[in-house]
């Protein structure tokens, strides 16, 4: 009976593909870096909200929920438009492990020329 239950569970478990080469692309790494930046910024905003300096006049659970959703959107917007750089640092750190993930230095828009001047 145990074998039957185990085989039934195994038949319900979705099969996971072992092909992960599509995951190891620079675009996926950049997207993960941006999401990491958004999560980090969101945690920072949440921590700042938790450090209350005074009691709110109109404090309620609904207002807290709305502020959490607003902070999440602000964090996503900040990560995509004005990142603080932690996501980029994480991407560069992880890209060093795989030569295929490293960005082409000639394609960088703010690359420096041989004299050290920015172009």
* Distance between CA atoms of residues 24 and 103, nearest Å: 13
* Distance between CA atoms of residues 111 and 119, nearest Å: 6
pLDDT confidence of residue 58: 77
Indicate yes or no: pTM above 0.85.
Answer: no
Report in angstroms the alpha-carbon separations of 102 from 33, 42, 49, 83, 112.
14, 27, 37, 20, 17
* Distance between CA atoms of residues 29 and 41, nearest Å: 18
37, 11 in Cβ contact below 8 A? no
Per-residue pLDDT for the chain (119 aa), expressed as one digit of tens each?
556 666 666 666 666 566 666 667 888 888 889 999 999 999 998 888 888 777 777 778 888 889 899 999 999 998 888 888 888 898 888 888 877 777 654 444 454 444 445 44
């Amino acid at each position: 009976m145990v074998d039957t239950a185990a085989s039934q569970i195994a038949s319900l478990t979705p099969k996971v593909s072992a092909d992960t080469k599509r995951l190891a692309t620079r675009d996926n790494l950049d997207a993960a870096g941006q999401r990491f930046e958004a999560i980090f910024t969101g945690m920072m905003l949440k921590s700042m909200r938790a450090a209350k300096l005074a009691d709110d006049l109109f404090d309620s659970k609904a207002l807290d929920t709305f502020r959490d959703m607003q902070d999440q959107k602000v964090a996503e917007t900040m990560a995509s438009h004005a990142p603080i750089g932690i996501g980029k640092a994480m991407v560069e750190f992880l890209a060093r492990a795989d030569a295929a993930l490293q960005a082409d230095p000639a394609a960088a828009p703010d690359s420096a020329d041989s004299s050290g001047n920015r172009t």
